[in-house]
Amino acid sequence: MSMFCRCLMLTSLRLAMVACLLVVGYGGAADAAERWTRLLGDIPVGSATKGGTSSLGRIYRVTTLDDSGPGSLREALGHQGPRVVVFDVGGVIRLQSDLGIYNPWVTVAGQTAPAPVTIVGGTLKIRTGDVILQHIAVRPGPSEDPAVNRTRDAISIGPCAGCKTPPRGVLLDNVSLSWAIDENIGLFGGPIYDITVRNSIVAEGLRHGGHPKGQHSAGMLINPGSIGVEVVGNLFASNVFRNPAVAPGTVVVVANNLIYNPHSLAIHINAGPASPFSTHMAMINNVVTPGPDTVQRVTTVHVSSRLPGRVPDAKIFIHGSVSESNRAVLKAPPELKLIQRATVVPANWDIIAADEVAQTVLATAGSWPGKRDVIDARIIDGARSRSGRLTDRPVEMAALESHKPSVRAAIVPQHPFSMSGIEGMLRIEAWLCLQHFAVGGPPNKSCNATAAVLEDALLKTVQAPADVDPAEAD
């Protein structure tokens, strides 16, 4: 059952407010915290998964950048059971076909690689639950097949006919997604539950990349049946539209995102197809920075004129968003009735003020924010200087073909799936947080201890599991 559904059922009880309450503030000031308590709701949305970090977990190593075969990422993802995928090699993985995650309970830890890991040539398809993807770049580029380009996302999240576990609990954390032909991220085929996209770069959907519709270039599409989606602290840069686009029949929080150089639409609440699901949306403290390709009419949030007639009971909260250069913040039909208190809040993010968003996002978004590859560095610099543009074929696309791999074995701690010196945290979790910090990842609700505390926790004496440490897979 999703986090949203569990809390929604609790709201029918007298203690619902206590059971689901999440107080979110910014700046540390008591008055700000009190104000957010009044404005924000009681139901946290987003992923609560631990991925593959379980006492029964196994370690699988990526030792080759080949598309498939022994030591490949594809092989590691194909295993079953709780697992953490670490990288002994960094560089470019060129796919020969789309790469799927079909078995649940997996953490893909790109922060463990000796250099940034970039996936090109296909879509990463998440078709199951309890998936964590961290510190990876996916830049698919165009296919020669127009039929493939119609749905070529960087990452797509949705169900599949033969999958036993539907998408429920997915965390995309510090990922870099660009050069898709359809969307950089697509959520579809609901119901899917509890999805978080945090501290990521969603940029440069290709404008004329071969999509059958012609000009496209889309950031993120959240389709009906996406329940409990959290989009927080991300940079959306130089996408024509869908930054993101949200359909009715969804439960979504979009907060503290920086949207640079949208051409025609930034955040777009569309009228969508008919859906049996309720609509709860909160758009909070997002910032639009116009660029060279932004048309004058772009607002931070655009609500379809058809939405009130199609979904009259939609619960939509819009607060604190900013559009620079004196542009309008909201375009909405006059009959739309916004709610004055959000029904949903982010589960994995503390709201910050709008004037802090640009600095925070530009410092922390992307796959390796402390050691950016040349592509992310260019995108960040373009957003900061307001020189980044829409693109049809980025200059680095050809250079990826000749990218040389980096090799260095990831030093996983002994007995990784035993408890650390921090209550409730496994040794593998403490180590992954250290690697997260090492590549510039910011503190978050999973990695909220300092590096010194984490290092000390790994030095604590632990009880080894059973007679043999099974953590390293054969």
User: In the numeric block, which tokens belong to residue 454?
Assistant: 């984490």
Q: How many angstroms separate the CA atoms of 113 and 115, rounded?
A: 5
Please choose, from the candidates 255, 332, 263, the residue with its C-alpha nearest in 3D space to the C-alpha of residue 287: 255
User: In the numeric block, which tokens belong to residue 115?
Assistant: 């250099």
Sheet holding 251-255, edge to edge: 58-62, 83-87, 106-109, 131-134, 168-173, 192-198, 226-232, 251-255, 280-284, 315-319
Q: How many angstroms separate the CA atoms of 272 and 64, rounded?
A: 43
Query: Catalytic residue among 61, 242, 372, 378, which?
Result: 242
Q: How many angstroms separate the CA atoms of 201 and 217, rounded?
A: 15
Known catalytic residue at 61 = no
For 190-349, list the strands marked E by DSSP. Answer: 192-198, 201-203, 218-222, 226-232, 235-237, 245-246, 251-255, 258-260, 267-269, 280-284, 287-289, 301-303, 315-319, 322-323, 330-331, 344-346
Phi, psi of 472 (to 5 degrees): -80, 120
Q: How many angstroms separate the CA atoms of 4 and 196, rounded?
A: 13
DSSP state of 408: -
Q: Looking at the annotation, which residues are catalytic?
A: 242
